[in-house]
Structure 1
Amino acid sequence: MPWDESPCPYCGGRVINVSNAVIYNGHTFGNGRCYLCVNCRASCGVHGNPATRRPLGVLATPEMKFFKQSCHKKFDSVWRNNKLSRNQCYKQLAKLMGICPKCCHFGWFNQPDLELANAILSDESWYKR
């Protein structure tokens, strides 16, 4: 569901579909579009090139974005260094988090999920457990 049909889940503000240059200091990334809460500035990118209106995940607050970046840095280093495939990494993380592998995606995690994932990924041997 496009976010611009719902209020922001954090502050109730209006969510609009805009150029992502508004959150990246005038520079666009990816397909150049995102959803943005005009009040609290939570945001989320969109799928596609050209851009669609389908969100990449949930709206993320600045704190959530910090955790997503931290998680991805730790997670991506495992599959990029051929320790496991990317799919195997998601399956292992899902197992350790106690969630369904199909639900295991940083873009769809809420704050508690991100904190748990970050704690798990902080163990350098998380993928071996």
Structure 2
Amino acid sequence: MKAVKIHPELVCPYCGSTAKLTDGTPVYKTTRYGQVYICGNYPECDAYVGVHPNSDLPKGTLANPELREWRKAAHAKFDPLWQSKRITRKKGYMILAEHLEIAREDAHIGHFDIEQCKKLLSLMNKIEADVDAYEEGKGDDPVPKETTQYHRWEKEKESHPTEA
């Protein structure tokens, strides 16, 4: 196992320990799946989060086994919507943010708690129906421009352009 890097900004929400960046071996028994941040009390506190490839950026927040299962279920239900190319990934997360009534920048399953995962799962039939209706020309855009956080931000950006 490689030397461990401490990440002072990642604190375990379960025990308060500071997270450590590792090569994945403690969790996966291999390095094939990439790096992970693990709780400083791992394995007694079984909280960890994966890391984006070629970086040290966590994919979300540290999660215990229960939360990891809820996040997997949320991804399994949500990801096919944009992976099917029916909508873009960006638009999928914009729709998700609208339905969950959260800011677009907060719409990351890797940051969700159990209740947010449950809410996403309960809303997926409605989200899919909205996308279906829109595709068939029988419904409004699932992300109405005038109401979304994203579009309000875009409009604000247009009215206050930054200097080059």
Range class of TM-score, shorter chain: 0.7 to 0.9
Aligned residue for 2:80, secondary structure, equals helix
Aligned residues: 122
Report if the CA contact (8 A) 1:79-1:86 is conserved: yes
SS at match of 2:7: helix
Alignment root-mean-square deviation, CA:
2.2
**1:74 paired residue number:** 77
- CA distance 1:14–1:100, shift in 2 (3 Å): closer
Q: Which of 21, 24, 27 is 1:23 aligned to?
A: 27
Greater Rg by CA: 2
1:1-129 matched pairs, under 5 angstroms: 4-5=7-8, 7-24=11-28, 26-30=29-33, 32-37=34-39, 38=42, 39-49=44-54, 51-52=55-56, 54-121=57-124, 123=125, 125-127=126-128, 128=130
Name the TM-score, length of structure 2 as normaliser.
0.65
1:126 maps to amino acid: I
Q: Quote the Cα distance in structure 2 between the aligned partners of 1:27 and 1:119.
A: 35
What stretches of structure 1 of length at least 5 have no aligned partner?
none
Q: TM-score normalized by structure 1?
A: 0.80
* Structure 2: stretches of 5+ with no match in the other structure: 131-141, 143-164
1:20-60 residue CA offsets vs partner (Å, 9 max, x unmatched):
13222x23344x211111231110122341x42x3221101
Indicate the structure whose relative CO is greater, using CA pairs within 8 Å and at least 6 residues apart.
1
Give the share of equivalent positions with the same residue, in percent: 29
Contact kept, 8 Å, 1:34 with 1:43, in 2: the verdict is yes
Tell me if structure 1 keeps the 8 A contact 2:6–2:18. no
Q: Distance in 2 between matches of 1:82 and 1:120?
A: 20
